[in-house]
Amino acid sequence: MSHRADKGGEGVNAPEALLSVQGLQKHFPVTKGLLKRQIGAVRAVDGVSFDVRQGETLGLVGESGCGKSTTGRLVTRLMEPTAGKIFFEGHDITHMSQSKIRPLRRDIQMIFQDPYSSLNPRHTVGAIVGAPFRIQGVQTEQGTKKAVQEILELVGLNPEHYNRYPHEFSGGQRQRIGIARTLALKPKMIIADEPVSALDVSIQAQVVNLLEDLQNELGLTYVIVAHDLSVIRHISDRVAVMYLGKIVELADRKSLYDSPMHPYTNALLSAVPIPDPARRKDRERIRLQGDVPSPLNPPPACRFHTRCWKAQVICKTEEPPLAELAPGHQVACHFPENVEQATAPAAAKVAQNVEEALHPKKPVV
């Protein structure tokens, strides 16, 4: 099937990055009273920047309410960003109109979390998976039905089930139908929002393996949003850890999991239960106190300082920038861990920060 329209036009921005997000923000207004007076804003995503390279998998991980799903929806333009820029293949798609964005939807597709609510119960599998062809007006050589059946086979479903309804399938099979729908128009990039968290343990592995196989076969680029650090480690090439609307650490998988620098990443990793009682003993456990603060009124400066055991005065007054402390390893922290591999200037910056913390210019409560 070679039904992709050639779009032509060379990129204007960073050609190697398929997707580039710069300073992305999404604030949801909070209104009160009859006149809907705005009394505040939930800063769901507050200045997020990252690149996704062709063919790689970026994992977005964090606790509930950290803005990871919102980021996914902003990138697919299912939501309108408050500020910031989104470049796809070098084109600025941040505020592109609906009619202009529609051809682009072929290239960016989304897999949703809940396989029960993301499929229309009154449509057959054929209608669901064939919908992209219909909406985009794509003609295929041997008709839509043949194309749909090929895709069903690709994701491991029986092509004969073309006329069945979603309720006749199990959770894992439904998620495969959702994946088949995203693959229909041969997208370049797929945003998957918690693709396996609603599935049973034994089925999760099937879907994870399917996503991997499809990537190898079709050269897809993934952005995977998930809260499960083990799944993210398994599937991602690079990982971004989010906390309260900001990226606190962004690194390739190995250095993030082997030598996490941000205290929050360390705490998250140590909280993951490991299914082996014999190995649990030698793990260092970090217990975070309390809950994630409300994004309506996030803590000033470093947003993690209310739960951080390393927090100093400077953490409450000055926001740490997302800085590259090791090659390809960005961290937003004044007192990062595992900095022995850090480059000299970064180490100097840390020293300077410590100096400032010990001798603040003005007294801080």
Partner 1 sequence: MRPVNPASRGSLLEVEDLSVVFRQRGRADVRAVDGVSFSVSPGETVGLVGESGCGKSVTSLAIMGLLPKRGVRVEGGVSFDGTDLLSLPPDKLRLLRGRDLAIVFQDPMTSLNPVVPIGTQVTEVLTRHRGLSNGEAREEAADLLRRVGIPDPSRRLREYPHQLSGGMRQRALIAAALACRPRLLIADEPTTALDVTIQAQILELLKTLVAESGTALILITHDLGVVAGTCDTVHVMYGGRIVERAPRHELFAEPRHPYTGGLLASVPRLDQPRGVRLQPIEGSPRDVIPWARGCAFAPRCPNRVEECTPVAPELLGDRHGLRCVNPLRSDQPATKAVPR
Those residues with Cβ within 8 angstroms of residue 201's Cβ, 6 or more apart along the chain or in another chain: none
Helices of type H across 228-273 = 229-235, 253-258, 263-271
Q: Which parts of 294-353 interact with partner 1 (CB under 8 A)?
A: none
Choices 28-36, 186-194, 288-296, 319-327 (CB under 8 A): range interacting with partner 1: 288-296
| Per-residue binding letters, 239-268, with partner 1 (x by CB under 8 A) | --------------x---x---------xx
Instruction: Give whole-number Cα distances, 123 to 120, 177, 316, in Å.
Output: 6, 12, 53
* Site for partner 1 contains 30 (CB under 8 A): no
* Site for partner 1 contains 290 (CB under 8 A): yes
* Site for partner 1 contains 276 (CB under 8 A): yes
Question: Measured from the CB of residue 271, what is the shortest distance to partner 1 in angstroms?
Answer: 4
Question: Measured from the CB of residue 183, what is the shortest distance to partner 1 in angstroms?
Answer: 20
* Site for partner 1 contains 233 (CB under 8 A): yes
* Site for partner 1 contains 111 (CB under 8 A): no
Residues 199, 204, 206, 211: is their CA dihedral positive or negative?
A: positive
Q: Which parts of 134-173 interact with partner 1 (CB under 8 A)?
A: 170-173
Q: How far apart are CA 331 and CA 240, in angstroms?
A: 10
Those residues with Cβ within 8 angstroms of residue 28's Cβ, 6 or more apart along the chain or in another chain: 41, 42, 44
The two tokens of residue 163 are 């006329």
Q: How far apart are CA 218 and CA 339, in angstroms?
A: 38
Q: Which is nearer to partner 1, 147 or 244 (CB)?
A: 244
Interface contacts to partner 1, rule CB under 8 A: 63-64, 170-173, 200-206, 208-209, 212, 227, 229-231, 233-235, 253, 257, 267-269, 271-280, 285, 287-288, 290-292
